[in-house]
């Protein structure tokens, strides 16, 4: 039994094995963060790299993500119990009219893995839902995902509404957009605070936001 086996099981898409192995490590008293980072998230990193390099495709990546998710389910409540202090709170969702959520879910997993508190609003999310979730949870960052061309104007609307709420509804939250149709230029044009090409970069960028003391 070892962390390596968790890592391997993720790469073999063995969801049930991952859950069992993670539970066994937890029972054996292994450090939760070690299980998370060295077992689950580092495997997901490799999958992400292969996906970007075009050597692994959506179905395989999803199978690996499902396996990581099964491990996360076990680890998540323990992190909360441990009182591990989140390094920040993020609200995440796919914008209105768009039901694509594979990329969004990966982003969510990476943020959770990195120690952020995650509020995932799912898909087809209204600007107002983003704003109230950010208010209720005192969020630092709102992450907006979109895969459809029609999601671009929806992102623009959401970012504008969030900025307005920052001005006059006592909110102080940054926005980051992502998904294949958008880029840094678009993010700047609609007034979003950030754009990242993929989930690991998004986490790094969010860490930088936090360090800059937003």
User: Would you say 92 and 111 are in contact if contact means Cβ atoms under 8 Å apart?
Assistant: yes
Among 45, 66, 129, 156, which residue interacts with another protein (rule: CB under 8 A)? 66
User: Would you say 44 and 68 are in contact if contact means Cβ atoms under 8 Å apart?
Assistant: yes
Q: How far is the CB of 185 from ligand B12 (least distance, A)?
A: 15
Provide the b/e sequence for 194-214 (b: ≥16 CB within 10 Å): bbbebbbebbebbeebeeeee
User: Would you say 39 and 74 are in contact if contact means Cβ atoms under 8 Å apart?
Assistant: no
Residues of this chain, 103-122, that bind ligand B12 according to CB under 6 A: 103-104, 106-107
87 near ligand B12, rule: CB under 6 A: no
Single out the segment in contact with another protein by CB under 8 A; choices: 20-28, 44-52, 78-86, 94-102.
94-102
Helical (H) or strand (E) element with 203 = helix 199-211
User: What is the spatial distance between Cα 90 and Cα 100, in angstroms, rounded to a whole number?
Assistant: 19
Partner that binds at residue 43, options ligand B12, another protein, none, CB closer than 5 to 8 Å by kind: none
Partner that binds at residue 66, options another protein, ligand B12, none, CB closer than 5 to 8 Å by kind: another protein
DSSP class of residue 196 equals -
Provide the b/e sequence for 62-100 (b: ≥16 CB within 10 Å): bbbbebbbbbbebbeeebeeeeeebbbbbbbbbbbebeb
95 near another protein, rule: CB under 8 A: no
147 near ligand B12, rule: CB under 6 A: yes
Opening angle at CA 132, ends 126 and 137, nearest 5: 130
Among 57, 80, 82, 204, which residue interacts with another protein (rule: CB under 8 A)? 57
Residues of this chain, 130-189, that bind another protein according to CB under 8 A: 147-150, 152, 180-183, 186
Show the site string, 11-50: x = touches another protein by CB under 8 A, - = not.
--x-------------------------------------
List residues binding another protein (CB under 8 A): 13, 57-60, 62-63, 66, 97, 99, 101-102, 123-124, 147-150, 152, 180-183, 186
List residues binding ligand B12 (CB under 6 A): 48, 58, 98-104, 106-107, 143-145, 147-149, 176-180, 196, 198-199, 202
């Amino acid at each position: 039994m070892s962390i390596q086996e968790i890592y391997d099981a993720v790469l073999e898409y063995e969801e049930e094995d991952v859950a069992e192995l993670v539970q066994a490590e937890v029972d054996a008293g292994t450090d939760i963060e070690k299980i998370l980072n060295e077992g689950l998230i580092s495997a997901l990193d490799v999958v992400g790299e292969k996906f970007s390099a075009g050597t692994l495709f959506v179905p395989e990546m999803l199978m690996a993500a499902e396996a990581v998710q099964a491990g996360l389910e076990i680890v998540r409540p323990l992190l909360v119990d441990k009182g591990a202090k989140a390094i920040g709170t993020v609200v995440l969702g796919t914008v209105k009219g768009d039901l694509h959520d594979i990329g969004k879910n990966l982003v969510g997993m990476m943020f959770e893995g990195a120690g952020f508190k995650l509020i995932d609003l799912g898909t087809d999310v209204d600007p107002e839902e983003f704003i109230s979730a950010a208010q209720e949870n005192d969020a630092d960052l709102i992450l907006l995902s979109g895969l459809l061309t029609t999601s671009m104007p929806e992102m623009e609307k959401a970012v504008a509404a969030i900025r307005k709420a920052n001005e006059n509804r006592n909110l102080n939250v940054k926005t980051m957009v992502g998904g294949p149709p958008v880029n840094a230029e678009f993010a700047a044009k609609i007034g979003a605070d950030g754009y990242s090409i993929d989930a690991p970069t998004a986490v790094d960028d969010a860490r930088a936001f936090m360090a800059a003391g937003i």
